A and B are shown apart, each in its own frame.
Chain A
């Protein structure tokens, strides 16, 4: 749930999603759900020559399970807040 919240705060920011098939897509994060499925608008593919079939695609929905990395805009991530929230969630997990 914690990572889901992080992505929710990053909506309307530009992110780069790297998939497990090495396709890298940069676009504006429009929405995210609990499975970390991601909807991107106004996308560009990093290595367009290797993935010509992606040229016409302007927005897309990415299934969460095929994501390897998401590169985030560091200036929009409050690292102190993240660490506190992570410790809080870890404490809740132990109680359960």
Chain B
């Protein structure tokens, strides 16, 4: 336990010079901060844990080629291959030709699939549902 160890350092340092004590207090303070923000308490230690906690929830997935998918996440692996149900894909098609004076129009195409496997190499990001 880091906190315990730091505390012992402090009490040992108490008999020595004032500067050493000051340093030790700083160490204790640092470790207390680390303890307060300990991410393991919430079950999140690595980025994939964010995706794990989103299982059976609706997620937003941004893909290469101006594509986005939302769907209920049922499975993923280390490649970020995903299996989503009730998936809706949105394709953004930017049209610079038809619009005048350099403006561009974004056309959006949508379609639904009830069970979809998404290959991981196309995934840019996976966003968990907004928590209220």
Seen from chain A, the residues whose Cβ lies within 8 Å of a Cβ on chain B are 1-3, 6-7, 20, 36, 64-65, 67-74, 77, 79, 82-83, 85-87, 89-90, 93-94
Contacts and interface: CB of A to CB of B under 8 A. Distances in A.
B30 interface: no
Contacts of A82: 74-75, 83
Given A3-B83, A36-B119, A70-B117, A83 B75 contact: yes
B15 interface: no
Given A79-B74, A86-B55, A86-B76, A71 B81 contact: no
B66 interface: no
Interface of B: 45-46, 48, 52, 55-56, 63, 65, 72, 74-78, 81, 83, 85, 89, 113-119, 121-122
A4 to B, nearest CB: 9
A72 B117 contact: yes
A70 B89 CA distance: 13
A43 to B, nearest CB: 18
B75 A3 contact: yes
A28 B3 CA distance: 60
16 contacts: A6-B75, A68-B118, A69-B116, A70-B117, A71-B115, A72-B117, A77-B85, A79-B56, A83-B55, A83-B56, A83-B75, A85-B75, A86-B55, A86-B74, A86-B75, A87-B52
Contacts of B48: 90, 93
A64 B81 CA distance: 12
A6 B118 contact: no
Contact of B83 (A67, A73, A77, A90): A77
Contact of B119 (A69, A85, A94): A69
Nearest to A72: B115
Contacts of A67: 119
